[in-house]
Structure 1
Amino acid sequence: MRAGVALAALLALTGCGLQPIYAGAGNAAVAGLSSVEVAPIPGRSGWLMGNALNDRLSAAGEGTARYRLDVRLDDQLEGLGLLNDDTIGRERRTLRARYQLVDIATGSIVLDATAGSDAGIDVVSSEYATIAAEQAALERLTDEVADRIVTSVSLALREQQ
């Protein structure tokens, strides 16, 4: 009975129109990602984002830059939840990215989109621990947003082909 249910689910999934990003002729999507260069992004969060994007794009291999990825970041840290002594008990770190994929040869914008994520941080009595938590949250958010950007870019490059 379980095998029958699994087979029916598999057949339904194949008819839904979903396709893997890397489907098609060889690794065309991977080749497309390797042709994207990341423009410098200012600030510490920009340095982290640039490294995260370059790590993901260079995993596709080396290629001649055909596209440029311009990214502008908005990194906000806000206090939430006041305690009885009027101190902040919780913070929220928000990282938003507006990015454009530009065809270097023509200067035309292939993709103009945004991505973002946020994380909650407990503020504790140790200032060092709070700062370390804020930095760790920024690193996690950078990874999440970079994954979203690369997925969006790969889909846009796939549509171009």
Structure 2
Amino acid sequence: MKRWAALNSRQHTLLNQISEAATMVVPEVAHPRTMSALRDRGLIKSQRTATGWSIWLTEPGRFYRDHGYHPDHPAYRGHRLPAKSADGSKPVAWDGKPLEHDGMLWKPGPGTTVTFDEFVVAHTTVVEILGHTTWNPWIREEREPEFRAAVKVFGHWHRAEPGFHQWNVEETIA
């Protein structure tokens, strides 16, 4: 059996049950061979305790649940699990499809740990502060720490339209 072999219906059912429970604690496993098959694929971990079994998903297990295939599958080499970044946090998993916000397409920068939801909040904050600056020039000064933090988060995502070119300062002024 290959690690990336397709799961049968019992294996899918058990994987989904474990996923919903976060950590599943059961006195006895109804289908021990099913649990062993998931464990052998690296999709779950299990531990025998005094009260029964404690079972939880691994990173490949979450990946399989979300994408429907094992991250080690050779047909999907470009979609492997992200490695940990230098600060220990995991980069954002991205399936290669641009995400839409405010009529624009966006993609994460390499190794970014900023989620799309965090980016949307930061983008909204930057646009709001810059929009208010036209009628209240002091607003940016008043909200400078918030603005800087939002710009820092905002910089982790990039436009994803084909052929898009980000203007530099000289091009913007011209």
Report if TM-score (shorter chain) is over 0.5.
no
Q: What range is the shorter-chain TM-score in?
A: under 0.3
TM-score where L is the length of structure 2: 0.22
Which structure exhibits the higher relative contact order, with contacts defined as CA atoms closer than 8 Å and separated by 6 or more residues?
Answer: 1
Q: Which has the higher strand share?
A: 1
TM-score where L is the length of structure 1: 0.23
